[in-house]
């Protein structure tokens, strides 16, 4: 599992992890299953005689000689997955897999359907293999992570939840994970980051002329759209493509059911952005592979794509936000809002809810502005809450659009459910200043990170190729 242990990253995964523990201790359900089972990986055809030598082969330029019509020899049981492995002589046990999977499930407050458990275990095993390879490569390069340093990071992690290390260890045991498993993740993160700093970062060079060229293009593209994107990248070969795509679809099911994209990126993504929850930052569509750039303009905010076939594997893309380059974004406006809410008694029918909502809408639309909000709330028996520092983009997209089109003193359409209905009244709006666009340093950093990411992927691919892995 990629946790992004260096500055500020621990809280992103650990907050949900701790809330899961609270729910478990109170006897509540820790998760909600996906609405439907994921589609399993395609089952190979039954055994048959081998095709003759002159059978057609795929038109692939990779140099592999693979027939277009693959026929497997012998029986295969697709649901059987080997649970352990020996990586260059180092054993990964079933306990390692169980504890890592338990931590991931607790951190996301989910309970996998039975048909998805094996796929999740297989992915955890692949991640543990990569982690082991990374730690071994760092050790071979004489990079040493002292036990005292691991203990310090673990202590900081525990302190971020007002716990002692002993209390954190007890909590991890309560979710069937362990202090050892957590410290192993810390070791993997630190070892790989320091190996990159020694073997990759010094050899990545971004020239001033390249940054100036990007600035010039940004100026020329002023007013065009820029996207804040997150990714989960899964490596695939022609032989593993179907299995990886099926795994990607299972991940997407969980994401669309409410699982954390950041946590899943740390656990499953094989890009170096996994350490930061898959965050690619702000990019223009043309900076991304064409397979992705063609989809972005049609995506609503918060959407997650289906698996996208890209060179080397599959990408899952989440659209976090979007803006226009060099143009002030109205969603950066600071709004002064009053919320009027009515709590509905248990057993309120849909018809009664609509009737109360209509009365709330009529009263707020005719009250003559925010100055009469208190009196209106008292007349309706509504609760009133005000906040004059709400950034529009912090609100749900539907409310953003509605509020940004209101005049001062106007109210939104009622929203809510069977237990509570509310309206928001716009009492003031401070529009953002004109955007000056990204700075020289920001562009330099982005170009540098992209190149480090690409080199790190190639480096890990080479390490995998050279590793001796024995599955048990």
Report the pLDDT value the prediction gives residue 398, as an integer from 0 to 100. Answer: 81
Tens digits of residue pLDDT in 237-248: 999 999 999 999
Tens digits of residue pLDDT in 279-302: 998 888 888 888 999 999 889 888
Look at 4 and 472; give whichever has higher pLDDT.
472
Over 80: is that where the pLDDT of 205 sits? yes
Average pLDDT over the chain, rounded to an integer = 80
Report the pLDDT value the prediction gives residue 33, as an integer from 0 to 100. Answer: 35
**Lowest-confidence region among 43-57, 178-192, 247-261:** 43-57
Q: Regarding the domain delimited by 10-48+58-201, which CATH topology (the fold level of the hierarchy) does it fall under?
A: Triger factor/SurA peptide-binding fold (1.10.4030)
Q: Give span(s): CATH 3.10.50.40, the chain.
A: 210-328+437-471, 330-430
Tens digits of residue pLDDT in 59-111: 444 456 565 555 555 544 444 444 588 999 999 999 999 999 998 888 777 77
Q: Give span(s): CATH 1.10.4030.10, the chain.
A: 10-48+58-201
Of 398, 268, 283, 278, residue with least CA distance to 331: 398
Over 70: is that where the pLDDT of 437 sits? no
Tens digits of residue pLDDT in 353-381: 888 899 999 999 888 889 889 999 999 88
* Confidence class for position 400, pLDDT limits 50, 70, 90: confident
Over 80: is that where the pLDDT of 223 sits? no
Asked: is 330-430 a CATH 3.10.50.40 domain? The reply is yes
Tens digits of residue pLDDT in 317-343: 999 988 877 677 788 888 999 999 999
The highest-level CATH class for domain 210-328+437-471 is: alpha beta
Over 60: is that where the pLDDT of 15 sits? no
**Lowest-confidence region among 90-99, 178-187, 387-396:** 387-396
Report the pLDDT value the prediction gives residue 418, as an integer from 0 to 100. Answer: 80
**Lowest-confidence region among 57-66, 200-209, 217-226, 379-388:** 57-66
Over 60: is that where the pLDDT of 402 sits? yes
């Amino acid at each position: 599992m990629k946790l992004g242990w260096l500055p500020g990253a621990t809280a992103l995964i650990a907050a949900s992890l701790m809330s899961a523990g609270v729910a478990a201790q109170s006897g509540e359900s820790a998760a909600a299953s996906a609405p439907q089972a994921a589609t399993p990986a395609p089952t190979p055809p039954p055994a048959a005689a081998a095709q003759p030598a002159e059978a057609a082969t795929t038109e692939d330029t990779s140099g592999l000689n693979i027939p277009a019509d693959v026929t497997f020899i012998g029986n295969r049981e697709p649901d059987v997955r080997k649970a352990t492995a020996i990586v260059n002589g180092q054993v990964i046990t079933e306990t390692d897999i169980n504890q890592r999977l338990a931590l991931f499930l607790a951190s996301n407050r989910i309970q996998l359907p039975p048909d998805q458990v094996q796929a999740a275990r297989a992915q955890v095993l692949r991640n543990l293999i990569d982690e082991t390879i990374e730690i071994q490569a760092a050790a071979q390069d004489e990079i040493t992570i002292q036990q005292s340093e691991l203990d310090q990071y673990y202590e900081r992690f525990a302190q971020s939840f007002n716990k002692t290390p002993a209390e954190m260890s007890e909590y991890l045991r309560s979710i069937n994970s362990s202090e050892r498993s957590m410290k192993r993740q810390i070791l993997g993160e630190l070892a790989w980051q320091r190996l990159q700093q020694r073997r990759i970062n010094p050899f990545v060079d971004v020239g001033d002329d390249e940054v100036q060229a990007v600035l010039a293009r940004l100026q020329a593209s002023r007013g065009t759209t820029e996207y804040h994107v997150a990714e989960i990248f899964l490596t695939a070969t022609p032989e593993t493509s179907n299995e990886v795509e099926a795994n990607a679809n299972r991940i997407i099911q969980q994401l669309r059911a409410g699982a954390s994209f950041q946590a899943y990126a740390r656990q499953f993504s094989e890009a170096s952005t996994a350490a930061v929850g898959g965050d690619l930052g702000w990019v223009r569509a043309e900076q991304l592979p064409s397979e992705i750039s063609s989809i972005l303009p049609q995506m609503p905010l918060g959407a997650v794509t289906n698996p996208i076939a890209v060179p080397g594997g599959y990408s899952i893309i989440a659209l976090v936000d979007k803006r226009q380059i060099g143009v002030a974004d109205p969603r950066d406006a600071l709004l002064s809002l009053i919320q009027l809410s009515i709590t509905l008694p248990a057993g309120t029918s849909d018809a009664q809810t609509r009737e109360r909502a209509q009365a709330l809408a009529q009263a707020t639309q005719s009250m003559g502005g925010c100055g009469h909000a208190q009196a209106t709330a008292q007349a309706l028996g509504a609760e009133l809450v005000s906040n004059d520092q709400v950034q529009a983009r912090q609100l749900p997209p539907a409310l953003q659009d509605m509020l940004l089109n209101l005049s001062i003193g106007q109210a939104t359409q009622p929203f809510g459910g069977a237990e509570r209905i509310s309206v928001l009244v716009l009492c003031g709006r401070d529009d953002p200043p004109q955007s000056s666009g990204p700075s020289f340093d920001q562009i330099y950093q982005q170009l540098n990170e992209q190149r480090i990411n690409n080199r790190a992927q190639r480096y890990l691919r080479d390490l995998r190729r050279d590793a001796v892995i024995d599955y048990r």
